[in-house]
């Protein structure tokens, strides 16, 4: 990490952009939490260890109400990094207020052909390195690989109880026994490829199939999964 330049006596600070999931609660909050629970039921650890921001522009909550909501999220292992859409004056004792957020399309129901909105101002995004992550070792049970910037390629196997999250496609050259979630930032063209599929769960964007729902004919062999409209399709690759 050489990006922080320290020059005493005057400190210099640099800004940096990070990727976070944004939650946009709607009233009534209780119903929204129930919806959230239903999503979490599909993948309990989906948001654990990921940065989450709250966009409260669609609800009117008192500071107490906000604190209560944050506590409710904390119970679900979701830690709120910052809040968007509230007045600075209301934010005492709450996570920092975020402004000028931009980018990635909404997670639960991605728009077709979603194109990231280019930033009107701020850092130019020129010369971005090709985004892919290569993992040479097997991914063991309990391990989680998350790479929202692009594709993930795994040379070994993915163990039962392990999970892979990718903004782009997922390629597994060993046996996929755990969970694979591709296109988590809304890329509907993301796919999952594996040399041998014994997956516990395959997901692209918000669409998923559990092992129970995956046909036996596409198990135990090379397979790919892609999104066809609003249906997750899985086929063998021979």
Partner 1 sequence: MNDKKSARVLVVTSGKGGVGKTTSTAALGAALAHQGEKVVVIDFDVGLRNLDLVLGAERRVVFDLINVIHGVAKLPQALIRDKRLENLYLLPASQTRDKDALTEDGVAKVIAELRSKFDWIVCDSPAGIERGATLAMRHADAAIIVTNPEVSSVRDADRIIGLLDSKTEKAERGECVDKHLLITRYNPWRAARGEMLSIDDVLEILSIPLLGIIPESEEVLRASNVGSPVTLNSPLSAPARAYFEATRRLKGETIPVKIPSESRGIFNKLFGRKAA
- Binding to partner 1 in span 161-200, by CB under 8 A: 161-162, 175, 177
Order across the sheet with 52-55: list the strands.
Answer: 21-23, 52-55, 80-84, 97-98
Q: Which stretch binds partner 1 (CB under 8 A): 11-19, 30-38, 126-134, 159-167?
A: 159-167
**Among 23, 43, 104, 157, interactor with partner 1 by CB under 8 A:** 157
Contacts of 176 (CB under 8 A, 6+ apart): 157, 158, 192, 194, 195, 196, 197, 198, 199
Identity of the residue, 31 or 137, whose beta carbon is nearer to partner 1 in the bound complex: 137
SS3 83: strand
Identity of the residue, 136 or 228, whose beta carbon is nearer to partner 1 in the bound complex: 136
Is residue 45 within the footprint of partner 1 (CB under 8 A)? Answer: no
Is residue 159 within the footprint of partner 1 (CB under 8 A)? Answer: yes
Q: 134: which 2 tokens?
A: 């290569």
Identity of the residue, 108 or 161, whose beta carbon is nearer to partner 1 in the bound complex: 161
**Among 24, 72, 132, 143, interactor with partner 1 by CB under 8 A:** 143
How far, in Å, CA of 192 to CA of 204, rounded? 8
Binding site for partner 1 (CB under 8 A): 137-143, 156-157, 159-162, 175, 177
């Amino acid at each position: 990490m050489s990006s922080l330049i320290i020059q005493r006596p005057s400190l210099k600070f640099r800004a940096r952009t990070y990727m976070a999931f944004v939650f946009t609660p709607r009233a009534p909050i209780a119903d929204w939490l129930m919806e959230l629970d239903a999503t979490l039921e599909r993948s309990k650890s989906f948001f654990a260890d990921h940065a989450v921001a709250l966009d409260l522009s669609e609800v009117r909550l008192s500071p107490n109400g906000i604190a209560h909501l944050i506590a409710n999220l904390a119970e679900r292992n979701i830690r709120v990094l910052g809040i968007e859409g509230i007045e600075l004056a209301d934010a005492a004792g709450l996570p920092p207020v975020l402004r000028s957020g931009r980018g990635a399309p909404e997670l639960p129901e991605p728009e077709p052909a979603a194109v990231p909105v280019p930033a009107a101002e701020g850092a130019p995004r020129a010369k971005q390195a090709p985004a892919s992550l290569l993992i040479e070792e097997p991914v063991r049970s309990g391990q989680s690989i998350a790479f929202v910037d692009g594709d993930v390629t795994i040379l070994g196997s993915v163990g039962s109880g392990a999970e892979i999250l990718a903004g782009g496609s997922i390629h597994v050259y060993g046996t996929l026994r755990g969970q694979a979630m591709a296109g988590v930032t809304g890329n509907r063209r993301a796919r999952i490829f594996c040399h041998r599929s014994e997956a516990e769960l395959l997901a692209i964007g918000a669409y998923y199939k559990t092992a129970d729902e995956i046909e036996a004919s596409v198990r135990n062999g090379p397979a790919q999964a892609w999104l066809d409209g609003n249906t997750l399709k899985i086929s063998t690759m021979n």
